[in-house]
Amino acid sequence: MIDKFRAKFVEESMDNLHDLEEALFLLEKDMENKELIERIFRAMHSLKGGGAMFGFNHLSDFTHHLETIFDWVRNGKLKVSTDLISLTFSAIDQINFLLKTGDLSKEEDIQNQKVFIQRIQAFLTVTNSPSDAASVNTASDQEAGESEEKSYLISFIPQKELLQNGTNPLYLLDDIHALGDALSIAYTHKVPSLEVLDASANYCIWQVLVSTAESINEIKDVFIFVEDECELHVDLIAETAIVGQPEVKALVSKALSSNILLTPDDFKKGQWAPKSQQPAVRDEKKKVAVKEHKISSMRVSSHKIDELVTLVSELVTIQAQLSLYAENNEDPTIVSLTENIQKLSRQLRENAFDISLIPLQSELMRFQRLVRDLSKDQNKDIDFIIEGGDLELDKNIIENLTDPLLHILRNSIDHGIELPDERIAAGKAPKGTILFKAFHSGANVIIEISDDGKGIDPEVILQKAIHKGLVEADVQLDKKEILDLLFVSGFSTRDVVSDVSGRGVGMDVVRRKIANIRGEVTIESEKGKGTLISIRLPLTLSIIDGLLVAVGSNQYVIPISAIDKIYALEPSQLKQSFNNVVVIDSEQYPYIDLRKVFQEEEKESAEVIQMIMVKAEDKITGVIVDNVIGEYQTVVKPLGKYLKKQEIISGASIMGDGTIAMVIDTSRLLHNRKLKK
Amino acid sequence: MTENFNIDYKKNNGELAIVFSGQLTISSIKKMTESLKANIDHPEKVLISVKDVENLDLTFVQLIQSIKNSGKKNGYEVLVSMKLPEDLSSLLVNAGFGNLLQTKEAHE
């Protein structure tokens, strides 16, 4: 049970940290933004409260100090500065560490935390200057006109699940008492007897009478983290302080003994001012908003989504079997039903995959941190611009994409963008730019990372490749082919780094990792101007729209997203071809015969040759197959470990009749051909 | 794994004395509840004592209330005595549970 709660708290806190980081980045650009300051304060407050609740005591203690800083900021006692933001970024790393490790046990970690807290406290001492204090007084003076005490009735009716979400309502009620004179009424009549008690559920309801000079919004702010998990009413009941008066005590006693909640009307009979109507109206609006929000989104574990996607994949396979059965039996009723099921399963598949998509934004924060921290370390001034961060991708793709992207960005900062002096000398602005751009392109997503740094000198690359024996000394390569050498294993070694601006460090690994998620990576660069790295990715990994083809006695699937056209050629056209290049519509295309690739026997003369034109790395290549069977929704199953090392097949699919069709990785097929050539 | 809470039971002539201590929070509440269900077996009187408390939350307050409600339903008296650090006492009072701190002293 405890593990479940703690895990949930950690999961939610990670979201909180993400939000915190995002707010900090924005605050760095707009240091006076009160909304952002409030957002950061709330995140700290939430981490502190949850930490204490779930036994993350060191986390709670640590965030308490940070919360104090941002409490000062929001109250005007402290101004946001770059130092404060840097301190908070470092603190986020520490919070991340505390969330992963729980309470610290190693002496070294405890000492580090103490030192960190001292840094925070010192920060408060140093920055609490008299001028700051004066500004607070001024602010207080401005509010003096509103400081007369009023009395409110707060009705706090939490949902049963409140406690499981990491909230300790005792602290909320304690916070209300900090606002002024308050009297809490706890209604416990719904708590069941021990035999039927669900110990982690909430059964209590509270009403609190508070007399305070704070505004109604200040009162509501106390409940801000639980507003989705409770019904909350805050009603003005008197224009003066009434808590502690005998008449109020009598009303409270009556409510407790009858278990009937007090209403604002109960206080109308008193000698104090009647309830104002406006706050109640606002409460109603808030209740509606809360209800709307509750159904707008929900948290589901990724494990459950994986299960759903697997089930939908299985359904697609079964549906293919049913289609085959319907075709063979020619029963119009079954054919009609099968068509309907096919439509539904396609819709279901699209919905299930839509659910499993997550925004790229979820990972971008890490990249922003990397750029910020690394550029500060290296005294470089870099503007990191993100376009298309809200684009969504399969979560499995995003998980596998993070490392290659971090690698590319690191290279860009380390070796692409120059120091400000160097940039000025080169006639550039002292501030470098890295642009991260994501967008849709047909059935693919393209991610481009470009910088306006040094760029890559192709001559240096070529000489290195010759020196390393990767190409012959007299080889004739165009610029693109030379830059492609960066992705060849064995090229990227540490000694290359200084000579070619660091580009190429581990780029073979980047390409391999991108290929593992059926993506392609290409590079373009202009010496002195900058570098562009493009990554083309599929939207999803487990089901693809494929073209089913036959080669020999086997069936294969070619992803439709990779297909440009299909030609039916006369055999004579191939006979006239030279060096596996065929002329179609006056254009020359290289081609691959899959019979040769899969070592099938030579086919006896055919009347028509089916050539599928496949796109990869901006080039079109023909792929000859025996027969094109048709379009096929393919559930891609991973290959077992024995077949993992082969390079042309990316997976397998079970056909309707139970046979297996291999899914061809067209990118690797064409790439291998190029290497062999 | 050692528990971060403790419950002692003493039975004497139909009286059941229960002493709670340690971390009395949601992280242990299920185990505490199971323990109580197993040990409260038709007593004539239950004397609850809460002491040496490191932390407590609403789940524990509800647990105490639940025992009281069981007492009402099954016809036995439940007396509660709480010795809490000042901060926790204040927390309970501010949450409207001051009555728990004012109940009659239970035997230990």
Burial of A223 (0-12, 13-18, 19+ CB in 10 A): buried
* E-assigned strand segments in A442-562: 444-451, 520-526, 530-538, 543-551, 554-559
Q: How many CB pairs under 8 A join A and B?
A: 102
Would you give the end-to-end CA distance of chain A in angstroms?
61
Residue A151's Cα: distance from chain center in Å?
44
Q: How confident is the model at residue B33 (pLDDT cuts 50, 70, 90)?
A: very high
Would you state the pLDDT for residue A484?
87
Q: Is residue B81 part of a domain?
A: yes
CB contacts, 8 Å: B73 with chain A: 193
Q: pTM of the prediction?
A: 0.51
Q: Is residue B32 part of a domain?
A: yes
In this structure, what are the phi and psi dihedrals at residue A501, rounded to the nearest 5 degrees? 55, 20
Contacts for A498 with CB less than 8 Å, ≥ 6 apart: none
Closest CA to A204 of B60, B87, B77, B78: B60
- Catalytic residue check, A45: yes
Fold type of domain A145-296? Replication Protein E1; Chain: A, (3.40.1310)
Q: Is residue B103 less than 8 Å (CB to CB) from chain A?
A: no
Q: How confident is the model at residue B48 (pLDDT cuts 50, 70, 90)?
A: very high
- CATH number for the domain running over A2-142: 1.20.120.160
Which residues 208-227 on chain A approach chain B with CB closer than 8 angstroms?
208
Q: Are strands A150-158 and B15-24 parallel, antiparallel or unpaired?
A: unpaired
Superfamily of domain A359-538: Histidine kinase-like ATPase, C-terminal domain (3.30.565.10)
Q: Are A219 and A176 in contact (CB under 8 A)?
A: yes
Q: Per-residue pLDDT for B38 more than 50?
A: yes
Structure tokens that stand for B17 in this block: 């004395």
Residue B65, domain extent: 5-102
- Tell me the C-alpha distance between A254 and A621, whole Å: 86
Residue B15, classed as helix, strand or coil, is strand
What is the CB neighbour count within 10 angstroms for residue A469? 9
- The torsion defined by the Cα of A399, A400, A404 and A406, in degrees rounded to 10, comes to 10
Nearest C-alpha in B relative to A56: B27
Q: Is the torsion defined by CA of A267, A268, A274, A278 positive or negative?
A: positive
Please pick, among A21, A22, A411, A415, the residue that the annotation labels catalytic: A411
Residue A113, classed as helix, strand or coil, is helix
Q: Are strands A432-441 and A382-387 parallel, antiparallel or unpaired?
A: parallel
Would you state the pLDDT for residue A135?
34
Residue A434, classed as helix, strand or coil, is strand
Please pick, among A45, A58, A64, A233, the residue that the annotation labels catalytic: A45
Q: Is residue A580 less than 8 Å (CB to CB) from chain B?
A: no
- Catalytic residue check, A411: yes
Q: Is residue A330 less than 8 Å (CB to CB) from chain B?
A: no
Q: What is the CATH number of the domain that holds B18?
A: 3.30.750.24
Q: Are A217 and A229 in contact (CB under 8 A)?
A: no
Which residues 10-69 on chain A approach chain B with CB closer than 8 angstroms?
52-55
Alpha carbon distances (Å) from A593 to A337, A582, A611 = 39, 12, 9
Candidates A179, A197, A208: best to mutate against B (most CBs of B within 10 A) is: A197
Would you give the end-to-end CA distance of chain B in angstroms?
27
- Tell me the C-alpha distance between A62 and A232, whole Å: 30
Candidates A162, A171, A188, A210: best to mutate against B (most CBs of B within 10 A) is: A188
DSSP character at residue A486: G
Would you state the pLDDT for residue A541?
66
Q: How many domains does chain B have?
A: 1
| Helix axis angle, A34-53 to A82-101, nearest 10° | 20
Q: Is residue B107 part of a domain?
A: no
Residues in chain A with pLDDT values less than 50:
1, 127-147, 273-295, 493-505
- Determine the average pLDDT of the residues in B54-83: 91
User: Does the domain spanning A543-676 belong to CATH 3.30.70.2190?
Assistant: no
Q: Are A170 and B58 inside 8 Å of each other by CB?
A: yes
Would you state the pLDDT for residue A436?
93
DSSP character at residue A468: T
Task: Using CB atoms, pick whichever of A163, A184, A208 lies closest to residue B59.
Answer: A163
Q: Is residue B108 part of a domain?
A: no
CB contacts, 8 Å: B20 with chain A: none
Q: Are A168 and A225 in contact (CB under 8 A)?
A: no
Q: Are B94 and A2 inside 8 Å of each other by CB?
A: no
Q: Is the torsion defined by CA of A599, A639, A440, A350 positive or negative?
A: positive
Task: Using CB atoms, pick whichever of A1, A171, A197 lies closest to residue B66.
Answer: A197
Q: Which CB contacts under 8 angstroms, 24+ apart, belong to A510-516? A: A510/A404, A510/A407, A510/A408, A511/A487, A513/A400, A513/A403, A513/A404, A514/A401, A514/A404, A515/A665, A515/A667, A515/A668, A516/A400
Place of tokens 């470092």: A90
- Which residues sit opposite A130 in a β-bridge? none
